[in-house]
């Protein structure tokens, strides 16, 4: 017998509200409508952005690592200035590589910068379907290498990089760490923090079957993203579970128990353990995909984010 999954009361209230919304599905929208809808959901459900002394737009310029041209980025810092070298967080937004941008994750990035007391640089990669796989990964890698080089435009000296992202950005988090492991940047990746990431193909998984409808992210939406992004299923840049994990950096792997791609994250946690790597595995019980962007509608999700940051502090303070 299959037992009903545990759903937190505040998460259930949000799901019940969403079920009453009589609007088109993402798959039935135009691309512009889908992107606007994603922004509207975060405007409705997430906490307001924090006011910080530093919130500044910048761009990774065209270079050998970035032949396509400027990559939009946004710097967040809870300190007005820093004179000493510091770890720098590079953040890659979710949205299936299709509908997210700097603004959809603005509130979350400001919160992470405050809670970690570290500078954070959010990266806006080229999106599908206009720029399918592996364009987004190339942008994320180029932008991260640029940040690691402590460019004058950033006004910071990097002592190391912390890669972090949610959903599609969680995928990019791991892929960038793997690419910088194979071909190191100016400073090392100190920690990677993939949050409800797609690491292995979720098609046919138990979580996809159980949570395919009614839990924020749906199987239908996943298929829409998959078709737009068109990742090569044999390429580790698309499905990083396929890579060698023996040199993975310390990792905080976060999943949501009600997420159709939950088992993809679990599989990566197991692969890291099997490879003898340091990993903290956090499965947030009773919440769905995107919980870090639902912190106003689902107040308990704020505590989940604080748990993630506490784990980051622990791992960064631990000896290598």
Q: Which of 42, 93, 245, 289 is the catalytic position?
A: 289
Both structure tokens of 132: 């399918």
Catalytic: 259?
yes
Query: Known catalytic residue: 289?
Result: yes
Which of 111, 92, 108 shows the shortest CA–CA distance to 100? Answer: 92
Please pick, among 167, 205, 207, 264, the residue that the annotation labels catalytic. 167
| Sequence-separated contacts (24+) of 218-227 with Cβ below 8 Å | 218/25, 218/260, 219/260, 220/25, 220/27, 221/25, 221/26, 221/27, 221/96, 222/96, 222/260, 222/261, 223/27, 224/26, 224/27, 224/96, 224/98, 225/96, 225/97, 225/98, 225/128, 225/168
Strand-strand pairing, 71-77 and 120-123: antiparallel
Contact indicator for 42, 290 with CB cutoff of 8 Å = no
Let me know if 46 is a catalytic residue: no
- Which one of 259, 263, 264, 290 is the catalytic residue? 259
Q: Which residues are catalytic?
A: 167, 259, 289
């Amino acid at each position: 017998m299959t037992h009903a999954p545990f759903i937190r009361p505040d998460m259930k209230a949000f799901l019940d509200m969403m079920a009453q919304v009589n609007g088109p599905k993402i798959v039935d929208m135009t691309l512009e409508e889908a992107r606007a809808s994603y922004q509207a959901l975060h405007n409705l459900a997430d906490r307001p952005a924090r006011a910080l002394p530093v919130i500044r737009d910048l761009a990774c310029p065209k270079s050998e690592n970035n032949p396509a041209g400027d990559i939009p980025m946004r710097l967040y810092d809870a300190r007005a200035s820093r004179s000493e070298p510091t770890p720098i967080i590079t953040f890659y937004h979710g949205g299936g590589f299709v509908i997210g941008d700097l603004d959809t994750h603005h509130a979350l990035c400001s919160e992470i910068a405050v809670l970690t007391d570290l500078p954070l640089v959010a990266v806006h990669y080229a999106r599908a379907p206009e720029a399918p796989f592996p364009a987004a990964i190339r942008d994320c890698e180029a932008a991260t290498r640029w940040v690691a080089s402590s460019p004058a435009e950033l006004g910071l000296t990097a002592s190391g990089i912390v890669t972090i992202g949610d959903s599609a950005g969680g995928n990019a988090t791991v892929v960038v760490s793997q690419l910088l492991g194979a071909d190191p940047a100016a400073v090392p990746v100190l920690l990677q923090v993939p949050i409800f990431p797609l690491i292995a193909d979720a098609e046919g998984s138990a979580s996809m079957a159980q949570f395919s409808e009614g839990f924020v992210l749906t199987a239908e939406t996943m298929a829409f993203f998959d078709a737009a992004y068109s990742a090569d299923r044999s390429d580790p840049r698309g499905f990083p579970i396929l890579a060698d994990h023996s040199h993975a950096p310390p990792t905080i792997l976060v999943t949501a128990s009600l997420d159709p791609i939950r088992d993809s994250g679990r599989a990566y946690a197991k692969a890291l353990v099997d490879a003898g790597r340091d990993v903290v595995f956090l499965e947030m019980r009773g919440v769905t995909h995107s919980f870090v962007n639902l912190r106003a509608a689902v107040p308990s999700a704020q505590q989940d984010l604080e748990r993630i940051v506490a784990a980051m502090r622990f791992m960064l303070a631990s000896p290598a």
